[in-house]
Structure 1
Amino acid sequence: MRRALLFIPVVLTVILGIVLFQRIGKDPTQLESAQIGKPVPAFELADLLDPSIRHGSEALRGKGPFLLNVWGTWCPSCRDEHPDLIRLAEQQGVRIVGLNYKDERPLALQWLERLGNPYALSLFDPDGKLGFDLGVYGAPETFVIDGDGIIRYRHVGVVNQKVWSETLQPLMQQLGGQG
């Protein structure tokens, strides 16, 4: 019996090694998403800029493909990607909907005032409910949504020029959007 107990750490180490080996070479920005091919989950959230305005999931339909960018002022990577989002919105006409995630409204408003606002629409998700329904792990995450409100792609991490030109822009063009 004691001898059998000695093999437990060996077995656990082998199992852990197999799991880690399977992840080698995988791109962490390419996380699986059960939401791909499904509509954006139903929601009703306040507008970040004007809390008296409420938006539902129908606000995300019928306006051609767009990016849904999940961000927060607490997220250093969101700050890194912000100039690229400004460039996409202002110079290339890309429609971006912002989902301010698990944040405080005054801080988010200060952020947009100071750094600029690339968002055609800003949703405020202080409890992270829509983020949870989307399967968000953290921020930044960016979803490509088609004109019918269907999630077509999910990018985890910073949207920069390389991600835009190699991944998001071709997909947006394929869906008939700007870029």
Structure 2
Amino acid sequence: MKSIIRFIPLILFVLLGVLLYRGLFLNPQAMPSAMIGKPLPNFELPMLKATEQKVGREDLKGNIVLLNVWATWCIQCKYEHPYLLEIAKDPRIKLYGLNFTDDHSAALRWLKQYKDPYVFTIFDEQGALGLDIGVFGAPETFVIDHTGVIRKRFAGPINTEVWKKEFLPLIETLETEMAQGAS
């Protein structure tokens, strides 16, 4: 019995090693979201550039919407920013920002320095909306259809390849649904 007890730490160490090794191969974009297929939750938060103005769910309805979660503390957000500037030129979609758990003045400086691709940015200082929609971190981008239903969650930075593979097919599907009058 004493010899078996001696091997318990070794067995636990090996099991932990296997678990951690497996984790290296998980896809962070494949994190499930309970919000897919559900309406964007009700919220009332200030705009980043005009904190006296409040915005809510109804302000994001009627178009194909990309809600991009970003913050100045997010290194990958800086990487994806030039791609967002290009995406913002696409008339098929409306790009909104969700500034997540960030410093207000730092966020304003960021948009001034790197240019603002967003129709407007929601200032989610406490992270309430981010938590309600299942944000794990930044950057993340949500596709919201014209009826206000969340159709996709993508974790990680957007670039040209990701845009073409992950977003364009869904946008084309949503355009077809809108043209057919689907609600």
TM exceeding 0.5 = yes
Partner of 2:119: 120
1:100-140 deviation line (CA, Å, top 9, x unaligned)? 01111111111111211111121000111111112111100
CA distance in 2, matches of 1:59, 1:19: 44
The equivalent of 1:16 in structure 2 is: 16
* Residues 42/8 of structure 1: CA separation in 2 closer, same or farther (3 Å cut): farther
Q: Deviations over 1:141-173 (max 9, x none)?
A: 011111111111111110110110111111111
Distance 2:28 2:173 in 1: 24
* Paired amino acid for 2:13: T
The residue correspondences of 1:41-80 to structure 2 (distance < 5 A) are 41-61=41-61, 63-80=62-79
State the distance in 1 between where 2:118 and 2:44 align.
Answer: 18
Q: Distance in 2 between matches of 1:38 and 1:119?
A: 23
Counting only pairs closer than 5 Å after superposition, residues 28-107 of structure 1 correspond to structure 2 as 28-61=28-61, 63-90=62-89, 92-93=90-91, 94-107=93-106
Root mean square deviation, CA, Å: 1.9
Letter in 1 for 2:64: P
Percent sequence identity is 43
**Following the alignment from structure 2 to structure 1, what is the Cα–Cα distance between the partners of residues 43 and 99?**
14
SS at match of 1:155: strand
TM-score, with structure 1 as normaliser: 0.88
With normalisation by structure 2, the TM-score equals: 0.86
Structure 2 spans left out of the alignment, 5+ residues: 177-183
The aligned length equals: 175
Query: Matches of 1:99 and 1:130 in 2, distance apart?
Result: 9
Residue 97 of structure 2 aligns with an amino acid whose one-letter code is: G
Q: Counterpart of 1:145 in structure 2: which amino acid? A: I
In the alignment, is the contact (CA less than 8 A) between 1:73 and 1:107 conserved in 2? yes
